């Protein structure tokens, strides 16, 4: 199946706040899809719907062709082993060291031996360019290191798809560049697809195969970067204004 996910006419309210108002979107196998949209437009809510951390009020979500819109909590467990979610802000467990943070999903979802877990933790850290930091606690890591550790944790289950919620926000340009390269590397070397919520144009240019733009609860644009640059939508144009990269 070409699509990993298909969203059809998804609606989500919180009380009077009608956040998503009929979202149609395909997430294709192998692609990096970037989601743009103003603060509060519902980007994080949309990611949470994909892994069952929130449920849609109306519409359908298909994962690998199966309707997953309304599953009991346990029904989402197998999906979460195939789809990793990098929370906005990184979200490592502060009371656990790097090893424990990375081992956590393996202990929760597999019956691997401690030796195999350690080997896999080291391997995942190496893939994000970090070594010999297993014993450190999140409090002693820089922001960029923390994002990389969170990325290592996201790839440790060998997922098919990673959902990144603002992976580069607040990082310096060089660290942003490193993260962007890693996102591409995951796609190229490990065939992991990505959905990337971001406001950072360098991430858009480096990582996006396709772009989707969420505005006032609707996907007002889905297409390539080149098509986005030609768009007449004023809010989407604002992202590309004064930007003469090709
Ligand atoms: N659990 C919740 N309960 C009530 N309202 C919520 C909840 N989660 C999100 N919202 C509301 O839904 C709207 C969209 O929130 P969301 O976090 O998806 O925005 P966002 O597009 O990710 O913004 P940002 O770019 O600032 O991260 C906001 O108005 C927010 O207050
Ligand atoms: Mg958000």
Give the start-to-end residue ranges of the domains of the chain: 31-52+72-209+221-240
For ligand 1, is residue 37 a contact (CB within 6 Å)? yes
Q: Report the pLDDT value the prediction gives residue 213, as an integer from 0 to 100.
A: 97
Q: Report the pLDDT value the prediction gives residue 147, as an integer from 0 to 100.
A: 86
Check the CA dihedral 183-184-186-191 and report its sign: positive
Per-residue pLDDT of the chain (246 residues; tens, 9 = 90+): 689 999 999 999 999 999 999 999 999 999 999 999 999 999 999 999 999 999 999 999 999 999 999 999 999 999 998 999 988 766 788 899 999 999 988 888 788 999 999 999 999 999 888 999 999 999 999 888 888 899 899 889 889 999 999 988 888 888 889 889 989 998 998 889 999 999 999 999 999 999 999 999 999 999 999 999 999 999 999 998 866 554
For ligand 1, is residue 198 a contact (CB within 6 Å)? no
For ligand 1, is residue 40 a contact (CB within 6 Å)? yes
Q: Is 34 helix (H, G, I), strand (E, B) or coil?
A: strand
Measured from the Cβ of residue 198, the count of other Cβ atoms closer than 10 Å reads: 24
Q: Are 69 and 147 in contact (CB under 8 A)?
A: no
Tokens standing for 106? 């393996």
User: Interior CA angle at 124 toward 122 and 127, to 5°?
Assistant: 110
Residue 87 CA to ligand 2 center (angstroms) comes to 9
Q: Which of 81, 103, 76 is nearest to 92 (CA)?
A: 103
* CB neighbour list of residue 150: distance below 8 Å, 6 or more residues apart: 86, 87, 90, 91, 92
> Which residue among 10, 14, 52, 200 has the greatest number of ligand 1 atoms within 8 angstroms of its CB, and so is best to mutate?
14
Nearest residue (CA) to ligand 1, atom 31: 40
Q: Report the pLDDT value the prediction gives residue 87, as an integer from 0 to 100.
A: 81
Q: Report the pLDDT value the prediction gives residue 108, as an integer from 0 to 100.
A: 81
CATH topology of domain 31-52+72-209+221-240: Rossmann fold (3.40.50)
């Amino acid at each position: 199946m070409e699509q990993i996910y298909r969203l059809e006419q998804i609606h989500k309210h919180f009380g009077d706040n009608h956040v998503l108002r009929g979202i149609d979107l395909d997430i294709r196998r192998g692609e990096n899809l970037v989601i743009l949209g103003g603060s509060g437009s519902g980007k994080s809510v949309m990611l949470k719907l994909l892994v069952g951390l929130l449920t849609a009020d109306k519409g359908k979500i298909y994962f690998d062709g199966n309707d997953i819109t309304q599953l009991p909590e346990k029904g989402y467990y197998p999906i979460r082993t195939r789809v990793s979610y990098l929370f906005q802000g990184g979200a490592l467990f502060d009371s656990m060291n790097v090893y424990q943070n990375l081992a956590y999903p393996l202990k929760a979802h597999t019956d691997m031996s401690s030796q195999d877990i350690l080997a896999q933790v080291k391997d995942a850290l190496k893939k994000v360019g970090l070594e010999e930091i297993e014993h450190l606690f999140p409090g002693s890591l820089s922001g960029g290191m923390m994002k990389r550790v969170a990325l290592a944790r996201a790839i440790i289950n060998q997922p098919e798809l990673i959902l990144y919620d603002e992976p580069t926000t607040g990082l310096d340009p060089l660290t942003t560049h490193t993260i962007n390269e890693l996102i591409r590397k995951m796609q190229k070397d490990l065939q992991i697809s990505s959905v990337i919520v971001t406001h950072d144009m360098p991430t858009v240019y480096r990582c996006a195969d396709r772009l989707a733009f969420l505005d006032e609860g609707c996907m007002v644009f889905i297409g390539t970067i080149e098509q986005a640059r030609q768009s007449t939508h004023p809010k989407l144009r604002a992202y590309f204004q004064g930007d003469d990269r090709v």
